[in-house]
Chains A and B, each alone.
Chain A
Amino acid sequence: MTEARVTAPPRLGQEEGRQLITEVKARAGKGGDVVIDLGNTQEMDSLGGACLVDTALIVKRRNGAFRIENARGPVAEFIEMIEPALHPPPPRPKPEDSTFVEIGGKALRYVGEVGEFLALCFDAFYWTIIAPFEGRGFRWGIFVDEVLEMGVRAVRIVFLMNFLLGLIIAMLSAAQARGFGITIYVADLVMIGFARELAAIMTAVVVSARTGAAIAAEIATMKVQEEIDAMRGMGLSTSQFLVAPKVLALSVSLPCLMTIGLVAGILGGCVWGVFVLGFPPSVWLDETLGAAHLSDLMQGYLKTLFFAIAIALIGCHNGFRVTGGSRGVGLMTTRAVVMDIFVMICIDIVFAAIFYYVLGR
């Protein structure tokens, strides 16, 4: 084995270090031991040190031995400080090897997630409905705060969105209906559409973007900052303090908001009917009320209740599942909203099918 001896310059910085690396590569390119002589060196900085680290790595990759000699004074202390870095770095963690393992792992994770979600549902059910009757307190204070935040604060935006949607529906369908001379039936259309579908969906979309995201972000942040652990460590139930009040608050707020949305949507249609289509208000309202059926309203409200429970539980579920720090919070919030919308459509389809095929409406 050959041994190459390289003497470092008096001042070892980035430039000098790079020359040092080039020299080592030239002298010991095909392997062999390298000794760096720091006898002349009085000064070095971190970048010079990094060059030594790099040199050590190059030499050791080629199975040579690497040594530093004659370091004196502060330089010697500095070398001592960076000594651990002169050893080869830890390997980068490798991703999963085979696709089977990967698919299996994914499947297991999904099953695990569904299990967690069901456990959360059960907990929420227990703490919302059963526990209060067993005398284990329901947190009314938190509940009232949540209703204020989720319900009352959302009134304006829900009203506005539904009003505009009503206006648009009336506008578009009136243009079609005019050809047949049946523009007055636009009132029926708006009423039925909002009662069965639109008010429920529109309100739930607004609320999932507002409240669903907020729930997920709040719980995820609490988890990241160990607030959840602290709460559990005190022997308090997170379901009792966080989940149950939110579920109940949203189950109460969302139907109320949907009612407001319904009124707003009909009002929007009415504005178009009265001011643009030129019907007297009483005629339009009579037509609207004549179209109202209890079963349509039932469908809307029943759906809304399910939406409310879904939004609250999905928000909590994703919040609790967060891993990593601030980035995880963002990811989980996004996931919660996407899941909300998806689940909402699923619920909607199920309801439409039940009402259409089973109940015949």
Chain B
Amino acid sequence: MSETILRVENLVTHYGETKVLDGVSFDVEKGEIFVIIGGSGCGKSTLLKHMCGLLRPTSGSIYYGDRDITVMDEEELVTIQRAIGIALQSSGLFNSMTIGDNVAMPLREYGNVDPALIDAVVRMKLSLVGMATAQHLMPSELSGGMRKRAGLARAIALDPPVVYFDEPSAGLDPIMAAGLDDLILDLRRMLGTTFIIVTHELDSIRKIADRMLMLDRGKTVFLGTVDDVETQGSDRVRQFFDRRADEYITQRNI
């Protein structure tokens, strides 16, 4: 468990004139559950989008294996993206299809899956996220949390070696969220999946995170295990874990 699967070096990105990430570096090992935390609006989702090649950075590189995805052309990028399961912050389900078809989509399009098995895979993945009965519903007929879970089921449809979850437990009840943590741990144990997860759930971080990265205003303020927080964490990260409010929330001005 020491093979590096993903390495981000000095990532700097802008949206127009605003700098969002400012020299972020870290690496993720195979089979690791890597958690990204940080205040709302600090650039976590942006970081994930760069890591799967949806956005191109201003400078810096992102190595997937030994290849830099920031300089790849579209075709190469697609092969990498197929190995990554992504569940974005707003589920990203296709509205024109049923939930079952949504999950089946990656299986049909690029899995080398026996067509006769697809239905079974779909049902299995949906029941993993507790949605077995929703197979024939349309996304617009679901609640927010259900949509989120269906998005997760689609992300893991092909047993991708790397999975990105953007706030998977936002909008889920505590029982479901705990179930999700178990699911993540189980999948890691069974399939050796690497997870990169953005989350704000402190309990969940304590339970599943191998290591974590904390961003603040685009810079890394902490990189290490949860236990390290106590011993070597800066004020900022301890504040996060103690849930202490800023003096004035407006001071952050993000």
Q: List the interface of chain A (C-beta within 8 A of B).
A: 14, 17-18, 44-47, 49-51, 53-54, 57, 74, 77-78, 81-85, 87, 89-90, 92-93, 224, 323-328
Contact = CB atoms under 8 A, between A and B. Distances in A.
Nearest to B147: A325
B186 A89 contact: no
A214 to B, nearest CB: 20
Contacts of A77: 186, 189-190
B154 to A, nearest CB: 13
Contact of A85 (B116, B124, B138): B124
Nearest to B144: A226
A14 B113 contact: yes
B19 interface: no
18 contacts: A14-B113, A14-B114, A14-B117, A17-B117, A18-B114, A45-B191, A46-B121, A46-B158, A54-B120, A81-B186, A82-B127, A83-B127, A85-B120, A85-B132, A89-B123, A90-B136, A224-B140, A325-B140
A326 B95 contact: yes
Interface in B114-162: 114, 116-117, 119-121, 123-128, 130, 132-133, 135-136, 138-140, 156, 158-159
Band of interface residues on B: 20 to 34
A347 B140 CA distance: 36
Contact of B120 (A57, A78, A83): A57
Contacts of A57: 120
Nearest to A15: B114
A253 to B, nearest CB: 33
A87 B120 CA distance: 11
Contacts of B130: 84
A54 B127 contact: no
B183 to A, nearest CB: 7
Chain B interface main SS type: helix
Given A53-B124, A81-B186, A89-B132, 18 more contacts: A14-B114, A45-B191, A46-B124, A46-B158, A46-B159, A47-B117, A47-B159, A49-B124, A54-B116, A77-B189, A82-B124, A82-B128, A85-B120, A90-B136, A92-B136, A323-B140, A324-B140, A327-B95
B95 A78 contact: no
A84 B117 contact: no
A325 B186 contact: no
A312 to B, nearest CB: 26
Interface string B86-128: 0000000001100000000000000001101101110111111
A50 B135 contact: no
A21 to B, nearest CB: 9
* In the A-B complex, the 7 residue pairs with the closest CB atoms: A325-B95, A84-B127, A327-B96, A53-B120, A85-B127, A50-B120, A50-B121
Contacts of B159: 45-47
Contact of A84 (B132, B156, B158): B132
A224 B114 CA distance: 36
Nearest to A89: B123
A81 B135 contact: no
Q: Which of A17, A74, A90 has the most CB of B within 10 A?
A: A90
Nearest to A46: B159
A37 to B, nearest CB: 19
A49 B133 CA distance: 18
B138 A324 contact: yes
A83 B130 CA distance: 11
Nearest to B158: A46
Given A78-B186, A326-B95, A50 B136 contact: no
B128 A81 contact: yes
Contacts of A14: 113-114, 117
B97 to A, nearest CB: 9
Contacts of A84: 127, 130, 132
Contacts of B126: 85
Contacts of B128: 81-82
A218 B127 CA distance: 36
A325 B140 CA distance: 6
Contacts of A83: 127
A44 B186 CA distance: 12
A326 B96 contact: yes
A78 B186 CA distance: 7
B120 A51 contact: yes
A46 B125 contact: yes
A311 B40 CA distance: 42
Contact of B135 (A17, A89, A324): A89
B226 to A, nearest CB: 23
Nearest to A80: B186
B189 A74 contact: yes
A85 B125 CA distance: 8
A85 to B, nearest CB: 4
A81 B183 contact: yes
A149 to B, nearest CB: 24
A54 B124 CA distance: 10
Nearest to A91: B136
A70 B156 CA distance: 27
A93 B136 contact: yes
A313 to B, nearest CB: 25
